[in-house]
Amino acid sequence: MSYPLVSTMPHHVDRYRLPLFTTEFGAVLRDVEIAYETFGTLHRNADNVILLCHALTGDAHVGDDADRTGWWGPLIGPTKTFDTEKYFIVCANVLGGCAGTTGPSSPMPGLTDTYGSTFPSITIRDMVETQYSLLRHLGVSRLQAVVGGSMGGMQALEWGLCHPDFVLRAAVLAATPAFSTMAIAYNEVMREAIVADPHFHDGNYDKYGVFPDRGLRIARMLGMITYRTAQLFAERFGREQTHNDRTAMFQIGSYLRYQGDKLVRRFDANSYLALMKAMDLHDIYRGRGQAHEVYEAYHAKLLFVGIDDDLLFPAKQLQQAALEAVQCGVDALYAHITSKFGHDAFLLEFEQLDAILRGFLAR
Amino acid sequence: MSYPLVSTMPHHVDRYRLPLFTTEFGAVLRDVEIAYETFGTLHRNADNVILLCHALTGDAHVGDDADRTGWWGPLIGPTKTFDTEKYFIVCANVLGGCAGTTGPSSPMPGLTDTYGSTFPSITIRDMVETQYSLLRHLGVSRLQAVVGGSMGGMQALEWGLCHPDFVLRAAVLAATPAFSTMAIAYNEVMREAIVADPHFHDGNYDKYGVFPDRGLRIARMLGMITYRTAQLFAERFGREQTHNDRTAMFQIGSYLRYQGDKLVRRFDANSYLALMKAMDLHDIYRGRGQAHEVYEAYHAKLLFVGIDDDLLFPAKQLQQAALEAVQCGVDALYAHITSKFGHDAFLLEFEQLDAILRGFLAR
């Protein structure tokens, strides 16, 4: 894939400060910082905006620049899926995150101490509301599309429910209307691994000058298992060992530990917990009722994109979600990504993503 | 299911001491104790013996008695699948275990200190060899059948390969010829959780008078996920919470923690590690070559039994294993258990097990 010169794509990195934010569960946060990036140029009437929403350990850097590739780099730029000659692309680090937006590792307003364990429970809807404030601040009154995968897909789905008149199109990749029991089960184990780390100190590790790196590493190792497939692991690592039969140190283990160590260097444990909890709580029916009530005022064209062998969000559940939306009168479609990568295909199968999303944006 | 009086079934609990045992990897163990139980009566010519092999956290108590149900209780007794009026059933706690047979938590010969981290790496073949010694000691020269599920299935398969003239029938439930990459991946995470526990002390926790209960608990929580299915969890627990929306404490989490705590009370962490490693190393091709060489001298009638949605041992892999054996001239069959329980179905679907195993024993 050949890249155009980065200089052809306007790219802007900024922060927006929200003086006051009240969470869905009633907690009040002051001076909420929202780190965001934009790609392309905002039209004078602000009608060319696409919001992209990142997943659990992602951040606002969705497009490439000279310093660093973006998590959807191949999809963003002139003539690409998210054409920066046409669209103004916005991506914000989520509330509760640790890449610039206020989260557990941020200092509390006017203090040097971080929130740590005192950071309130947040939900996907809270992420949406902080993004909404940012977009209003930018002068945006309507989104051409909101698109995201996994935790980003949850946001994309909630967006059109929280602000029906604001969203023209919503593409929900590898996410379901409610987080499943099995997915919560995996989160329970990851959570247990983090809080069991003696450096966790009930979430107040900053005060002790330590970090629960072993716990977060274990969580990431398990996460990686759920993001990929048995087939991929078998093909890539088989039963290959790092030394010999007797040590029983397998390549798959090295790979998982490597992935764990990599995350520990860049991600906060309390953020990981806060975002997992937001995912656990993801449930579009909560407080709204049955599907017909949920989708009552829904206006956006809706797209669910499922992936083969997605352990966390089985494609069948996304098909059912699309069908349910159609039955509630929503203009909803289902598309499918064929991949041996499993869940992570939404970050890797760029050609299929391009074909699916180009078609959807043209609707 | 109505139970016959336990008194109608001869039941014997005993130990056998093996003076010297050399593991597959060359470690020498002295005074190996093997805890075993028998059900039924051994014929004078010792030709009515069935060996049952337990899984990771199982033990020798396979049949019911007045004090405690056995892990295959409904299958063992007069007129049952394993008919104690006809067969002499033997089940031994595996080498490396912690229910009577020598393992990491056993005192070293002549000492009060336990083996702890010094317990050598063992393999499924080592389990088979210690069982072989026990059976020779009992005067047995041939098994009517060897049957087991999961780690027990690995033993059942290795039995006829290690001692081709000793085994007439082998039934391998929920186990494959080699442990898969994905299954090793889960073990890597469970292992990491145990060794990261500050009470683990490199396996020497006995010396410190502590136990890595949190690590073993996390391991068991993850294990439980792999033993069941998404469908079962969804039906049983859904998104039910223990308190309310805001705490985000889900019933599935309570269930997993309960299962974790239960195991911690009865199982040794070093044993768990030793047996996981033996499972990782399970590979019938190791040191033997290709399938045709592996099965060259194989005499037993062989049965693979796969289970719907078995996350650790996909049914398709057991079908392929049966086909491979057939292609190597083995009298091999595949049978299937339909279940929403997943892997654990071999411990739960008694009616299907009865039908499948009765037919197989009659061949």
Per-residue confidence in pLDDT tens, chain B, 363 aa: 445 544 579 999 999 999 999 999 999 999 999 999 999 999 999 999 999 999 999 999 999 999 999 999 999 999 999 999 999 999 999 999 999 999 999 999 999 999 999 999 999 999 999 999 999 999 999 999 999 999 999 999 999 999 999 999 999 999 999 999 999 999 999 999 999 999 999 999 999 999 999 999 999 999 999 999 999 999 999 999 987 666 679 999 999 999 999 999 999 999 999 999 999 999 999 999 999 999 999 999 999 999 999 999 999 999 999 999 999 999 999 999 999 999 999 999 999 999 999 999 998
Count of CB pairs separated by less than 8 Å, A with B: 133
Looking at residue A226, its pLDDT comes to 98
Instruction: Return the half-sphere exposure (C-beta side, CA atoms, 13 A cut-off) of residue B321.
Output: 30
Interchain CB distance below 8 Å, A250 and B188: yes
Q: How far is B298 from chain A (nearest CA, A)?
A: 24
What percentage of chain A's residues is helix, strand, coil (to nearest 5)? 40, 20, 40
> What pLDDT, on a 0 to 100 scale, did the predictor assign at position A8?
74
The residue assigned the tokens 């941020």 is: A106
Q: What is the mean pLDDT of chain A?
A: 96
CA distance B218 to chain A (A): 6
What tens digit of pLDDT does each residue of A303-336 get? 999 999 999 999 999 999 999 999 999 999 999 9
B11-22, strands of its sheet edge to edge = B11-22, B28-39, B88-92, B49-53, B145-149, B169-173, B301-307, B332-337
Partners of B276 on chain A (C-beta within 8 Å) are none
CA-to-CA separations, A170 to A128, A152, A156, in angstroms, rounded: 13, 11, 6
* DSSP letter (8 states) at residue A30: E
Residues β-bridged to residue A17 = A33
Predicted pLDDT of residue B246: 65
Pick from A178, A188, A221: CB nearest B189: A221
Reduced to 3 states, what is the DSSP secondary structure of residue B325?
helix
Residue B150 annotated in active site: yes
Chain B residue with Cα closest to A246: B25
How many helices and strands in chain B, by DSSP H and E? 11, 10
CB contact under 8 A, B286 and A245: yes
Give the residues across from B37 on adjacent strands: B13, B91
Q: Annotate A245-268 with b (16+ C-beta within 10 A) or e (fewer).
A: ebebebbbbebbbebbeebbeebb
Whole-angstrom CA distances from B197 to A192, B217, B219 are 12, 10, 11
- For residue B361, what are the CA distances in angstroms to A274, B106, B173, B315, B357? 54, 36, 14, 22, 6
Q: How far apart are CA A172 and CA A334, in angstroms?
A: 10
Contact B181 A246 (CB under 8 A): no
Q: For residue A245, what pLDDT is reported?
A: 61
Which position among B126, B268, B343, B344 bears the catalytic label?
B343
Residues sharing a CB contact under 8 Å with residue A159, sequence separation 6 or more, in sequence order: A51, A53, A128, A131, A143, A146, A166, A167, A170, A300
Residues of B in contact with A317 (CB under 8 A): none
pLDDT score at A243:
78
**Per-residue model confidence (pLDDT) at position B1:** 45
Dig out the tokens for A311 from the structure.
């352990």
- pTM of the model as a whole: 0.96
Q: In 3D, which of B330, B362, B310 has the Cα closest to residue B55?
A: B310
Give the Cα-Cα-Cα angle B100, B101, B102 (nearest 5 degrees): 120
Given the residues B59, B64, B310, B344, select the one marked as catalytic. B310
B252 to chain A: nearest residue by CA?
Answer: A185
Distances (CA, A) of B251 to A44, A229, A272, B19, B232: 51, 27, 21, 49, 13
Say how far apart CA A17 and CA A31 lie, in whole Å.
6
Predicted local distance difference test score (pLDDT) of residue A274: 98
Residue A150 has a CB neighbour count (10 Å cut-off) of 26
Do A181 and B248 make contact, defined as CB atoms within 8 angstroms?
Answer: no
* Angstroms from A116 CA to nearest CA on chain B: 17
**A291/B310 Cα distance (integer angstroms):** 32
B188 and A239: CB-CB below 8 Å?
no
Give contacts of A25 with chain B, Cβ < 8 Å: 245-246
Extents of the domains making up chain A: 6-180+281-361, 183-279
Query: How far is A277 from chain B, CA to nearest CA, in Å?
Result: 7
Question: What's the whole-number mean pLDDT along residues A206-229?
Answer: 97
> What pLDDT band is residue A248 in, cutting at 50, 70 and 90?
confident
Q: Is A71 left (phi over 0), alpha (psi -120 to 50) or beta?
A: alpha
Q: Which of B180, B214, B248 lies at the smallest CB-CB distance from A277?
A: B248
Of B62, B24, B18, B21, nearest to B40 by C-alpha is B62
Spell out the CATH class of A183-279: mainly alpha
Query: Domain B6-177+283-362 class?
Result: alpha beta
Residues of A catalogued as catalytic: 150, 310, 343
Closest-CA residue to A32 (of A129, A116, A104, A101): A101
Say how far apart CA A89 and CA B295 lie, in whole Å.
Answer: 61
What does the pLDDT read at residue A1?
A: 45
Query: Above 50 in pLDDT, residue A281?
Result: yes
Q: Contacts by B110-118 with C-beta closer than 8 Å and gap 24+?
A: B113/B206, B113/B207, B114/B206, B115/B270, B116/B203, B116/B204, B116/B205, B116/B206, B116/B207, B116/B270, B117/B202, B117/B203, B117/B204, B117/B270
CB within 8 A of A44, min separation 6: which ones? none
Backbone angles phi, psi at A135, to 5 degrees: -65, -40
Which CATH number is associated with domain A6-180+281-361?
Answer: 3.40.50.1820
A233: which 2 tokens?
A: 């692991």
C-beta separation of A105 from A276 below 8 A: no
Nearest to A226 by CA among A74, A121, A342: A342
Q: Does the annotation mark B280 as catalytic? A: no
Return the closest-CA partner of residue A301 out of A357, A352, A353. Answer: A357
